[in-house]
Amino acid sequence: MSASLPLRIDVSILSSAWTARDKRIAAFCKRTAIHALNFARKQLPKKHFLHAVKKSVEISLVLSTDARVRVLNRDYRGKDKPTNVLSFPAADDAGLMSDVLMLGDIVLALQTTQKEAKAENKPFKAHTAHLVVHGVLHLLGYDHELERDALKMERMERLILADLGIADPYADTVVVKRPTVWRASTKKKR
């Protein structure tokens, strides 16, 4: 993907509570998503599909409520509870034939985002930016199912947020190491 390709971020606000909190939240989220996409694509492996794209790229960003996100989380992930952000990468190849490559959808839940920001003593906009960046990285193929993948994704999140002037979201996070499994030696003592 060349530097001059147009990016389109469509922001939908499904709850006026988002704009009641910050009138410019849609523009802020849009700028964050564009920055995350531009920054991340420079770090992607040369074989990543995004480098071959010769058209505009689009992301749909939805600012929603816990109630709506809970339904999506239940229907698509089998988890009947709200979560802070959901990402839905475009699953088909139809976008490859059109003038626009749809990367996918990102949906943020306001109440969960607010609760987490307060609990973690982080500014609301900084936490929102982190969730937007997290969602964009999922659309690009980043994952956190395995520890090594989670570390790569967290590193990229930190780099993007630092480039935006936002503090490390993991700075005060306690890292819990996985327990080491000790196996008895199979060698017999002589």
> What does the alpha-carbon distance between residue 119 and residue 113 come to, in Å, rounded to a whole number?
10
Q: Which of 57, 137, 37 is nearest to 98 (CA)?
A: 57
Mean pLDDT of 73-90: 94
Q: Which of 163, 153, 158, 133 is nearest to 36 (CA)?
A: 133
Mean pLDDT of 81-96: 79
Whether 96 shows a pLDDT value over 60: the answer reads no
**What is the topology classification, in CATH, of domain 7-163?**
Collagenase (Catalytic Domain) (3.40.390)
- Dihedral pair phi/psi, residue 89, rounded to 5°: -60, 145
pLDDT tens digits along 68-80: 999 999 999 999 9
Q: What is the DSSP string of 61-118?
A: EEEE-HHHHHHHHHHHHS--S--SEEEEE--SSGGGTSSEEEEEEEEEEHHHHHHHHH
Whether 135 shows a pLDDT value over 70: the answer reads yes
Mean pLDDT of 100-114: 93
> What does the alpha-carbon distance between residue 97 and residue 70 come to, in Å, rounded to a whole number?
33
Report the interhelical angle of 110-119 vs 124-139 (nearest 10°). Answer: 120
- Domain coordinates in residue numbering, the chain: 7-163
Whether 94 shows a pLDDT value over 90: the answer reads no
Whether 180 shows a pLDDT value over 60: the answer reads no
Minimum mean pLDDT range among 18-22, 47-51, 116-120: 47-51
